[in-house]
Amino acid sequence: MRPSPSSSIGGRLARSLVLWSVLWCAALGAAIWVIVREEVEELLDDTLQSAAEGLIGPLANSLTESVAPSTVAPASAPTGRFTWQLVSYQGGAHLVSSARGAPAAPLHDTPKPGFSDVPGWRVYGQATGRDAQTVYVAQSTEERVEAGTEIALAALFAGAPMTLLAVLWLRSRIRRELQPLRELSDRLSRYDPMQPGATLGAAEREELRPVHAAIDALAGRLTRRIAHERAFTSHAAHALRTPLAGIDAQLAVALREAEASHRPRLQRVRTAAERLQRVVAALLAMFRSGAEVQRSEIDVAALAARLPIEGLAIDAGGTMPLNADPDLVTAAVLNLIDNAQRHGARSVTFSTPGANVLRVHDDGPGVDPGRRRELRAAIDAQDYAGRTGLGLMLADLVARAHGGDLSLPDSANGFAVELNLGPGEA
């Protein structure tokens, strides 16, 4: 069974502890009950036996002195729930003498020495050795149960506070033992393996050493991978950007030197080369979108004015400043409006509908609701291949790199994209 995402080790341990404490208390109580019952029964039986042996002498003497047996009561005779009978079995069982409150009939119809049970009584019988008489000492079952219960409850009540104290102490101990995990979490939140000399620090518990080692190993692998990617991006940037600049420079010269009839064709080639430059810049920016974001304040109107786009009216009036990486945002916006232009838009409006949110809205044909849903699903799942164009993919990656997201709000006309650029720096 998978644990719920919100379950905590401390909570789970505490719940287990409480459950096991309850079970322990129940088991302990049962054990005490059984043991105490046995011991109390034994003790009471010993008492019965001692009482019976103690009664035989006085009863014998009193009967020798021709005192009416039914009125004879030895000085030590117990009363109430503890009673006795002297029964003669000559010519059938008949009561010779008994304590006050004792049953009116003999406890046994036949002589029964030793311990026995009759309804409501625990009985010990012993022959007196005279006239087939047997003395029975009895204790009520109710009294015996009550005595056992009182002792068991007393034991339980004495044990429960100890158990409660143990539970509280163990909970506190669990918290203390889990503290290194919380500290590890704090350290990890501050840990940046890309910083020179950054380490996670020594493990505070033996059990956490493998975790520290695994994290350090992971950080090492990530650091090497990022370094390789940065090196690759740097090489790719040089390998791609320089020839593109060369192509543009050569085309610019060719345009100057060419006959007038050849210039439109050359100009189209140059326009295509410029678009290729933007795509390459976007791809390189996309590699960078996994890297650290360099936030600064962006004047949206100034950014719009610098965009190398021709034949498209851009309105960025009334926009609020953004706090984001200017290069990444420029790359994203450039590709969005390049998309808009290629889909027939004549104008694009920039607006800032929320804090650090940039909306790019064009006046093109837009997309139908079904296609918009497909695009949203592709963006949410980050499953871009074959489902979105480069512009939306790059814009989404840029937004995510800033800790935000990309949304495609409904619009009555044209196509709108909103880049949420996350919480800016204070």
Partner 1 sequence: MRLLLIEDDELLGGGLCDFLRTDGHAVEWARRLGDVEAYRDEPFDAYLLDWQLPDGSGLDWLRARRKSGDVTPVLMLTARDLLQDRLRGLDSGADDYMVKPFAPEEMAARVRAICRRSGGSAGAHIRVGEVDVDLVARCAWLGDERIELTSREWSVLEALVLRPGRIVTKSELERLVLGFESELASNAIEVHVSSLRKKLGRELVETVRGMGYRVSTAS
Q: Residue from 171, 241, 263, 400 that binds partner 1 (CB under 8 A)?
A: 241
Residues 6+ apart with CB under 8 A from 422: 356, 399, 402, 403, 404
Contact between 199 and partner 1 (CB under 8 A)?
no
Cβ proximity to partner 1: between 146 and 257 the closer is: 257
CA torsion through residues 148, 151, 156, 159, sign? negative
**In 3D, which of 61, 53, 98, 58 has the Cα closest to residue 75?**
58
**In 3D, which of 414, 376, 194, 391 has the Cα closest to residue 291?**
194
Cβ proximity to partner 1: between 246 and 318 the closer is: 246
Q: Residue from 122, 212, 288, 361 that binds partner 1 (CB under 8 A)?
A: 288
Q: Residue from 282, 284, 336, 398 that binds partner 1 (CB under 8 A)?
A: 284
Cβ proximity to partner 1: between 279 and 408 the closer is: 279
Size of residue set near partner 1 by CB under 8 A:
27
Q: Residue from 238, 275, 342, 373 that binds partner 1 (CB under 8 A)?
A: 238
- Only one of the segments 142-150, 239-247, 314-322, 389-397 lies at the binding site for partner 1 (rule: CB under 8 A); that segment is 239-247
**Per-residue contact flags (x/-) with partner 1 for residues 164 to 183, judged by CB under 8 A:** --------------------
Cβ proximity to partner 1: between 208 and 280 the closer is: 280
Cα separation, 77 vs 118, in Å, equals: 20
Q: C-beta of 225: minimal distance to partner 1 in Å?
A: 18
Q: C-beta of 356: minimal distance to partner 1 in Å?
A: 19
**In 3D, which of 353, 354, 294 has the Cα closest to residue 329?**
294
Contact between 190 and partner 1 (CB under 8 A)?
no
CA torsion through residues 153, 158, 161, 165, sign? negative
Q: C-beta of 254: minimal distance to partner 1 in Å?
A: 9
Would you list the DSSP string of 219-270? HHHHHHHHHHHHHHHHHHHHHHHHHHHHHHHHHHHHHHHS-GGGHHHHHHHH
Cα separation, 287 vs 399, in Å, equals: 14
Cβ atoms of 135 and 157 within 8 Å: the answer is: no
Query: What 8-state DSSP symbol labels residue 206?
Result: G
**Per-residue contact flags (x/-) with partner 1 for residues 325 to 354, judged by CB under 8 A:** --x---------------------------
Scanning residues 242 to 261, which ones bind partner 1 (CB under 8 A)? 242-250, 252-253, 256-257
**∠184-188-194 over CA atoms, to 5°?**
145
Show the DSSP H helices in 126-203 as ranges. 141-190
**In 3D, which of 358, 353, 351, 341 has the Cα closest to residue 414?**
341
Q: Residue from 16, 61, 70, 234 that binds partner 1 (CB under 8 A)?
A: 234
Quote the longest CA-to-CA distance of the chain: 161
Contact between 378 and partner 1 (CB under 8 A)?
no
Q: C-beta of 422: minimal distance to partner 1 in Å?
A: 18
Q: C-beta of 325: minimal distance to partner 1 in Å?
A: 8
- Only one of the segments 109-117, 212-220, 234-242, 357-365 lies at the binding site for partner 1 (rule: CB under 8 A); that segment is 234-242
Q: Residue from 47, 149, 277, 347 that binds partner 1 (CB under 8 A)?
A: 277
Q: C-beta of 281: minimal distance to partner 1 in Å?
A: 8
Q: C-beta of 402: minimal distance to partner 1 in Å?
A: 15
Cβ proximity to partner 1: between 95 and 276 the closer is: 276
**In 3D, which of 182, 277, 196, 188 has the Cα closest to residue 237?**
277
Cβ proximity to partner 1: between 130 and 235 the closer is: 235
- Residues 303-307: contacts with CB under 8 Å, at least 24 apart: 303/329, 303/330, 303/333, 304/333, 304/350, 306/330, 307/333, 307/334, 307/337
- Only one of the segments 9-17, 24-32, 57-65, 231-239 lies at the binding site for partner 1 (rule: CB under 8 A); that segment is 231-239
- Residues 337-342: contacts with CB under 8 Å, at least 24 apart: 337/307, 337/309, 337/312, 337/362, 338/275, 338/278, 338/309, 338/391, 339/389, 339/391, 339/392, 340/312, 340/364, 340/415, 341/309, 341/311, 341/312
Cβ proximity to partner 1: between 104 and 260 the closer is: 260
Q: C-beta of 249: minimal distance to partner 1 in Å?
A: 3
Q: C-beta of 278: minimal distance to partner 1 in Å?
A: 9
Contact between 271 and partner 1 (CB under 8 A)?
no
Chain residues that interact with partner 1, rule: CB under 8 A: 234, 237-238, 240-250, 252-253, 256-257, 274, 277, 280-281, 284, 288, 294, 308, 327
